[in-house]
Amino acid sequence: MAPLLDVCNLRIEFATAQGTVTAVRDVSFHIDAGEVLGLVGESGSGKSVSALALLRLLPPQARIRGSIQFRGEELLALSEPAMRHIRGAGISMIFQEPMTALNPVMRVGDQIAEAVLAHSGAEAPSHREADAAQLKLRPFKADGGVSALHKPPSFEQDATDVAQPIGLLEQGEKQIPRGLKPARDDKNEEGGAAHAGAKAPDEREAGTADLKVRPFEDGKSSPAIKITKQDAWRLAVESLRTVSIADADRRARDYPHQLSGGQRQRVMIAMAVVNRPSLLIADEPTTALDVTIQAQVLDLLAELREKFSLAMLFISHDLAVVSLVSRRIGVMYAGNLVEMGSASDVFHHPAHPYTRGLLNSVPTLRTDRGRPLQTIEGTVPSIVALPPGCAFEPRCASRIASCAAALPPLIEVAPGHLARCPVVATEVH
């Protein structure tokens, strides 16, 4: 069976004033449907850059080489409009630092609803376009006041209350969130007169009975779909309930600064899963959270994965966290994937010298407190001046001459257990 995501020989370069910088080189991995792959490594090892490359969210000066296939489709060959329908609906991402990832001047419910409408037939305009074309701000008064204050459009309010921030949803073949039950216009399908719809009920009265999670059997959208702003708002509130936000109706009207760090992280998760993607990329989802909140977030991700049959790429620098959630683990160092295997193999039988050094530097209950912790000698090389061979070679006590000559290939040291080390390869053979 073909994997859900297949990344082969991924290489990412950036054009800088100092020349071309290689941030990621020769990274290959795959993720099967429903599987959790953990990607671990210290800061600057290329984890987040690799994740952003999967969604083609890197800046224009980045150059991506290799192959990224999602459900057998080459993502690097897709047009930008086609790629926009993959983001959020097929592959979704929980970004680092929810306080900076969330829009500070939009209510969190509106931000989640915007993600729903973006995959429902009409693209949301930029905030600049909305300001100029729809909100029509008037100039400042002479006394320094403002005649019309800028108020971000709300998906909660009725279309008569604020200017329509997003155009009427057209019937088309664009993808819609899999969690929304399609509503067909029978009159239009039969070629009759346009459907005369009554005013949609207020979301507080309508509830969410008609928005239960019912994925399409074929995973594709219906050709005749209508999703109103009220529908999107109710889906947003329901998504907040899914991630265990208490009093979701009220919290949906809050701004990011009114929420705690754990609540903001839950909002990011709600936004990521509202369109029911097949693959979820979690980029450091427990960073800057205390241990208790970390455990709650990890339990929530595990619950959502089981509920929605999600595959997940879990990125972290915390070995303990990765060991709890991941079935397979990849270890990155200086832009390279140096080891890949099951969680049991990587933690109990590490093959690469860098992985061994990482695990030996972590204190345990058996660690002798009278002796200093083990460290890895040297420093991580700058990506501006990476050696042609193994990037860990200058710090490795087991290095041989071939380590510095060329980048070693990944060698299978045990069934399903790969390591990028010629010393280990020699021992195996």
Q: Are residues 268 and 218 in the same domain?
A: yes
Here the CATH number for the domain that contains residue 346 is 3.40.50.300
Q: What is the pLDDT at residue 194?
A: 39
Give the pairing type, strands 411-414 and 328-333: unpaired
3-state secondary structure of 120: coil
Q: What is the pLDDT at residue 226?
A: 65
* Averaged pLDDT for residues 78-106: 93
More confident site: 44 or 365: 44
Q: Are residues 261 and 323 in the same domain?
A: no
pLDDT exceeds 70 at position 129: no
Q: Are residues 245 and 336 in the same domain?
A: no
Q: Are residues 59 and 196 in the same domain?
A: no
3-state secondary structure of 30: strand
Q: Are residues 169 and 210 in the same domain?
A: yes
pLDDT, tens digit (0-9, with 9 covering 90-100), for 208-253: 434 443 333 333 433 335 688 999 999 999 999 999 999 999 999 9
Does some domain include residue 371?
A: no
pLDDT, tens digit (0-9, with 9 covering 90-100), for 297-335: 999 999 999 999 999 999 998 888 999 999 999 999 999
**284 token code pair:** 């450091």
Domain boundary (273, 306, 326) is at: 273
Q: What is the pLDDT at residue 356?
A: 93
Domain boundary (210, 245, 273) is at: 273
Q: Are residues 250 and 170 in the same domain?
A: yes
Q: Are residues 177 and 247 in the same domain?
A: yes
pLDDT exceeds 60 at position 89: yes
Looking at the 3D structure of the chain, how many domains does it have? 2
Q: What is the pLDDT at residue 141?
A: 40
Q: What is the pLDDT at residue 41?
A: 92
DSSP 67-104: EEEETTEEGGGS-HHHHHHHBTTTEEEE-S-HHHHS-T
Amino acid at the residue 41: G
Could you give the CA distance from residue 48 to residue 316 in angstroms, rounded to a whole number?
9
Does some domain include residue 426?
A: no
Q: What is the pLDDT at residue 396?
A: 92
Q: Are residues 221 and 331 in the same domain?
A: no
Q: Nearest CA to 236 among 112, 122, 141, 123?
A: 112
Q: Are residues 109 and 252 in the same domain?
A: yes
Range of the domain at 331: 5-88+278-350+383-415
